Amino acid sequence: MSAASSAGGLDARSRARLVGVHPALVAVVEAAARLSPVPFIVTEGLRTPTRQAALVKAGASRTLNSRHLTGHAVDVAARVDGRIRWDWPLYRPIAAAFKAAAQAQGAALVWGGDWPRLRDGPHFELDRRAFP
Convert the pLDDT of each residue in 15-39 to its tens digit. 999 999 999 999 999 999 999 999 9
40 pairs with which residues across the strands? 78
CATH number of domain containing 72: 3.30.1380.10
Q: What is the pLDDT of residue 29?
A: 98
Residue 122, domain member (yes or no): yes
Which pLDDT tens digit goes with each residue over 45-76?
Answer: 999 999 999 999 998 888 889 999 999 999 99
Print the domain residue range for 37. Answer: 12-126
Residue 86 forms part of a structural domain: yes
Contacts of 124 by beta carbon, 8 Å cutoff, 6+ apart = 25, 28, 29, 73, 74, 75, 76, 95, 98, 109, 110, 111, 112
d(CA 124, CA 81): 23
pLDDT digits (tens, 9 = 90+) for 82-112: 999 999 999 999 999 999 999 999 999 999 9
Which pLDDT score is estimated for 93? Answer: 98
Decide if 132 is inside a domain: no
Q: How many domains does the chain have?
A: 1
The DSSP line for 38-68 is S-EEEEE-S--HHHHHHHHHHTS-S-SS-GG
Is residue 131 one of the residues assigned to a domain? no
The answer to whether residue 108 is domain-embedded is yes
Has residue 6 been placed in a domain? Answer: no
Q: Is residue 7 part of a domain?
A: no
Q: Evaluate if residue 5 carries a pLDDT over 60.
A: no
Q: For the whole model, what pTM was predicted? A: 0.90
How remote is the C-alpha of 124 from its chain's centroid?
4
4 assigned to some structural domain: no
